[in-house]
Amino acid sequence: MRDAAPQTIYLADYTPFGFIIDSVSLHFDLDPRKTRVKSRIAFRPNPDATDNTFFLHGENLNLISAMIDGTPVTPKLTEAGLTCDVPDAPFVWEAEVEIDPTGNTALEGLYMSNGMYCTQCEAEGFRKITYYPDRPDVMAVFTVTINGPHPVLLSNGNPVSAAEHVAEWHDPWPKPSYLFALVAGDLVAHPGSFTTKSGRDVALNLYVRPGDEGKCAFGMQALKESMKWDEDVYGREYDLDLFNIVAVDDFNMGAMENKGLNVFNSSAVLASPETSTDMNFERIEAIIAHEYFHNWTGNRITCRDWFQLCLKEGLTVFRDSQFTSDIRSASVKRISDVIDLRARQFPEDQGPLAHPVRPESFQEINNFYTATIYEKGAEVIGMLKLLVGDDAYAKAATLYFDRHDGQACTIEDWLRVFEDTTGRDLTQFKRWYGQAGTPHLSVTEAWDHGKLTLHFKQHTPPSAATPDPQPQVLPIAVGLIDQDGDEVEETNILEMTQAEQSFVFDNLGTRPIVSILRGFSAPVVLTQDLSDADRAHLLAYDTDPFNRWEQGRILARSSLMAMILEGKKPNKDWLKGIRAVISDEHLDPAYRALMLGLPSQSDLARALAEDGHTPDPDIIYAAVEATRAAMAKSYANLLPTLYRRHTVSEDYEPDAIQSGKRALSNAALSLLTRIDDAAAAQKQYDAADNMTQQLSALANLIHAGKGSKAVQAFEAQWKDDRLVMDKWFGLQVMEADPEEAHEVVETLTKHADFNWKNPNRFRSVLGAFAAHHGGFHHASGAGYRLLADWLIKLDPLNPQTTARMCSAFQTWKRYDADRQALIKTELDRILAQPDLSRDTTEMLTRIRGA
């Protein structure tokens, strides 16, 4: 079905809906092809609205009948919905529509996945279920009855009654339509329970397909920990008698926080030691927490309109990272978050897709579930907390919940609770929500008889979204380390508000080394004129774990840049500095594993482009490989011990301690493989009894060119486990040589189990390929062509997943003229497809530019 013509929606045009809804009842007669949905909605005129047009959204619906107060009416239908004349008084709207869940391949609205019915309504999917004011500021109490031949029939809220093939649900909390959910299928429940701090007994269930029962225990435990944490840290209790989670195989994203009925991509909830890696466990724990935390930040307090998406997403990401930091290691979590921010948000913020944390316009809201709104949105809250302090942050959050419970809010409401709590004027701080672009911060030092002056300059490069950026409020965390490696000044938060600003540290004995932007206190690109020797000093002695890691990373980057640009050898001092850190048995193994990482190839490409060079993917790849080889050689006598000492022999636990040890032993293994002819990797593969060990060994074997046997064995072992097979597909792409990557992808896409209509499987191959820097950017253009072919094929079925993957092209202006021309040809070829979706059209138009 064709999309309605693209239309740009503006924040400035917001007006409230002309009606208030007193109640909604929905009745579903489920059928794979012809599901009937009856709605009965009590409306009354909204006294605060100026426009009283009765418009209901509706897409791909077959209207059977409509009535107002029991009298049949004939509404005017358009591609986007309907209008109808209505009384200037309270009235009841009743409609019946027919929809086709099987034909719904976009996985938005009501659709089928492996014979089960499920829904995804955020942001604007409810309009594919029935005619409704499908906007988040219209909140209502829902009653739902489901009629279907399935043992499990679920919707939001509490169950009212259940008979054979009929279930009735009532959700007492007013909610917007995007939080509606329905699930029906042949599912089994993994039960649990939780008692809230005020004594409410909550029944918990994790619903899965038969056969997946053994992968539920961890998710259930994570849910209980999340519920407890939100009580302890934010004072937020759960508010229904029941909390259900359902695992679904076909899902466009990670998970969805529908009230009382979270729906999860099965990859984001199912876990077992044999089939999931440590990283999977940690991600699942974080996503379960994220969706649960939405119950307050998103559901009880929701967004007035979709421009305010960061109000719930930035805040909820911030909350889930606090949770992970509390139950695992705070410094490891912070470093991982910064790596992720630089990998996903920086390219967005510095390219053609740059948009503010609160955008001012969009065509397709699904395209704005971005790293900027989620991750930069979370960074903004972290800065706010640094600026006001922990106590004021806690008070403001409590005020937010007290003041706005049950409302649909804006960023202004959020900032006002901070202003009212602290008396601070946050007008300038609000720029973080309104301006696109990553600020560049540079600092110079002056030393004069015990007085150290730091002079900062900030500058945000202009973008299409923000042509004239103004200075931001920057919390800059600074500490001082002396020549002996002692901290002479603990962390201070300098508050920078001007384009240029100086800060003075007085009464210092000897000249210290300045540790700046500790904990990555603001999402900026920092330039600090430190010598390599000073950086090595901080790498050895900085008391801030983030900055210690950061200095190692900067040294690694300059070593790589010198190799790429001047053909130099890897920097010996950096190798030595890292060696000291990874040998320090007082340090957390997980942290040491991070120290063995290198900047990604696309990070290097971005750094090169930023310095005015044209990145050559082949040279970047070669430099990274040569660096890994040099590390392996230089640490040769250390690696076997490092590997053995941190190999876990106890029964598998996915906790921070064990997973940290495995991270370090596997980081050592990947270097060791370069000097032992993959002997240790083969041994580990043969002995592995958990997926972390098995997959890491397999990755090393493939990378070393010795993987063919293990690849076959792995497939034979796991062919019936779809989540493990996603890893099998993905790993072969990730570990492929750049010269061969596109052929590997072509072969894999011909595999009998390459079900391209399943988003997880599609992403495991094409998503991994788009992230394979050398393979995707192969000089022949074969990579660009291959991805474009698949995007063209997927778009008519699933616009959301297609559009998301278009971002692979967002960095195209970094590369040489030949590659740019090749990419442009592909962008134009996709854009020329008849009936290209609104999602993909918007993405590619923005990426391509004029």
Residue ranges in 36-158 assigned as alpha helix (H) = none
Q: How far apart are CA 231 and CA 751, in angstroms?
A: 48
Which residues in the 298-337 window bind Zn ion by CB under 5 A? 313, 316
Q: How far apart are CA 426 and CA 311, in angstroms?
A: 16
SS3 label, residue 55: strand
| Torsion angles phi and psi, residue 846, rounded to 5 | -70, -40
Q: How far apart are CA 333 and CA 757, in angstroms?
A: 34
How many Cα atoms sit within 13 Å of 624 on the Cβ side? 20
Binding site partner of 123, from ligand ARG, Zn ion, none, Cβ cut-off 5-8 A by kind: ligand ARG
Question: Is residue 366 within the footprint of ligand ARG (CB under 6 A)?
Answer: yes
Minimal distance, residue 320 CB to ligand ARG, in Å: 9
Q: How far apart are CA 450 and CA 157, in angstroms?
A: 65
| Region label for 9, one of left (φ > 0), alpha (ψ between -120 and 50) or beta (otherwise) | beta
Stretch that binds ligand ARG, among 202-210, 255-263, 353-361, 452-460 (CB under 6 A): 255-263
Q: How far apart are CA 254 and CA 759, in angstroms?
A: 11
Whether residue 650 lies in the annotated active site:
no
Distances, alpha carbon 794 to alpha carbons 768, 802, 803, in Å: 16, 6, 10
Binding site partner of 349, from Zn ion, ligand ARG, none, Cβ cut-off 5-8 A by kind: none
Please state at what angle helix 782-794 crosses helix 741-749, rounded to 10 degrees: 30
Question: β-strands 525-528, 440-448: how paired?
Answer: parallel
Binding site partner of 503, from ligand ARG, Zn ion, none, Cβ cut-off 5-8 A by kind: none
- Which residue number, 257 or 278, has a Cβ lying nearer to ligand ARG? 257
- Which residue number, 311 or 354, has a Cβ lying nearer to Zn ion? 311
- Which residue number, 39 or 801, has a Cβ lying nearer to ligand ARG? 801
Residues ≥6 apart with Cβ < 8 Å to 346: 438, 525, 606
Number of residues that bind Zn ion (CB under 5 A): 2
Which of 683, 741, 827, 664 lies closest to 329, judged by CA? 664
Distances, alpha carbon 55 to alpha carbons 124, 167, 739, 803, in Å: 15, 30, 55, 28
Among 94, 122, 171, 225, binds ligand ARG (CB under 6 A): 122
Binding site partner of 289, from ligand ARG, Zn ion, none, Cβ cut-off 5-8 A by kind: none
Among 94, 171, 257, 603, binds ligand ARG (CB under 6 A): 257
Element of type H or E holding 291: helix 278-293
Minimal distance, residue 729 CB to Zn ion, in Å: 27
Q: How far apart are CA 341 and CA 521, in angstroms?
A: 13
Which residues in the 493-512 window bind Zn ion by CB under 5 A? none
Question: Is residue 118 within the footprint of ligand ARG (CB under 6 A)?
Answer: no
Q: Which residue has the tokens 């007006």?
A: 15
Question: Is residue 123 within the footprint of ligand ARG (CB under 6 A)?
Answer: yes
Minimal distance, residue 567 CB to ligand ARG, in Å: 45
Minimal distance, residue 97 CB to ligand ARG, in Å: 22
Residue 669 tokens, joined: 């293994």
Minimal distance, residue 336 CB to Zn ion, in Å: 18
Binding site partner of 59, from ligand ARG, Zn ion, none, Cβ cut-off 5-8 A by kind: none
With contact defined as beta carbons under 8 Å apart, do 756 and 726 qualify? no
Question: Is residue 369 within the footprint of ligand ARG (CB under 6 A)?
Answer: yes
Stretch that binds ligand ARG, among 233-241, 289-297, 391-399, 588-596 (CB under 6 A): 289-297
Binding site partner of 771, from ligand ARG, Zn ion, none, Cβ cut-off 5-8 A by kind: none
- Which residue number, 287 or 605, has a Cβ lying nearer to Zn ion? 287
Q: How far apart are CA 579 and CA 543, in angstroms?
A: 18
Residue 403 tokens, joined: 């003041």
Binding site partner of 122, from Zn ion, ligand ARG, none, Cβ cut-off 5-8 A by kind: ligand ARG
Residue 119 tokens, joined: 């829904």
Binding site partner of 253, from ligand ARG, Zn ion, none, Cβ cut-off 5-8 A by kind: ligand ARG
- Which residue number, 178 or 238, has a Cβ lying nearer to ligand ARG? 178
With contact defined as beta carbons under 8 Å apart, do 275 and 694 qualify? no
- Which residue number, 682 or 760, has a Cβ lying nearer to ligand ARG? 760
Element of type H or E holding 207: strand 201-208
Question: Is residue 262 within the footprint of ligand ARG (CB under 6 A)?
Answer: no
In the DSSP assignment, the letter for residue 58 is -
Stretch that binds ligand ARG, among 22-30, 45-53, 251-259, 517-525 (CB under 6 A): 251-259
Q: Which residue has the tokens 């030393």?
A: 447
Minimal distance, residue 519 CB to ligand ARG, in Å: 25
Stretch that binds ligand ARG, among 146-154, 286-294, 526-534, 547-555 (CB under 6 A): 286-294
- Which residue number, 137 or 257, has a Cβ lying nearer to ligand ARG? 257
Residues ≥6 apart with Cβ < 8 Å to 789: none
Minimal distance, residue 313 CB to Zn ion, in Å: 5
Which of 169, 174, 173 lies closest to 138, judged by CA? 174
Minimal distance, residue 19 CB to ligand ARG, in Å: 25
- Which residue number, 263 or 578, has a Cβ lying nearer to ligand ARG? 263
Q: Which residue has the tokens 């029962």?
A: 213
Question: Is residue 253 within the footprint of ligand ARG (CB under 6 A)?
Answer: yes
Binding site partner of 369, from Zn ion, ligand ARG, none, Cβ cut-off 5-8 A by kind: ligand ARG
Minimal distance, residue 178 CB to ligand ARG, in Å: 8
Question: Is residue 823 within the footprint of ligand ARG (CB under 6 A)?
Answer: no
Number of residues that bind ligand ARG (CB under 6 A): 12
Minimal distance, residue 684 CB to ligand ARG, in Å: 35
Which residues in the 141-170 window bind ligand ARG by CB under 6 A? none
Q: Which of 291, 375, 550, 735 is catalytic?
A: 291
Please state at what angle helix 390-404 crosses helix 217-234, rounded to 10 degrees: 100
Minimal distance, residue 311 CB to Zn ion, in Å: 11
- Which residue number, 319 or 727, has a Cβ lying nearer to ligand ARG? 319
| Torsion angles phi and psi, residue 597, rounded to 5 | -80, 165
- Which residue number, 30 or 253, has a Cβ lying nearer to ligand ARG? 253
Element of type H or E holding 299: none
| Torsion angles phi and psi, residue 191, rounded to 5 | -90, 160
- Which residue number, 289 or 765, has a Cβ lying nearer to Zn ion? 289
Q: How far apart are CA 683 and CA 561, in angstroms?
A: 35
Stretch that binds ligand ARG, among 47-55, 252-260, 339-347, 704-712 (CB under 6 A): 252-260
- Residue at shortest CB range from ligand ARG: 369
Q: How far apart are CA 781 and CA 776, in angstroms?
A: 8
Distances, alpha carbon 579 to alpha carbons 584, 585, 589, in Å: 9, 12, 13
**Interface with ligand ARG (CB under 6 A):** 122-123, 253, 255-257, 290-291, 294, 313, 366, 369
**Interface with Zn ion (CB under 5 A):** 313, 316
Residues annotated as catalytic are: 291
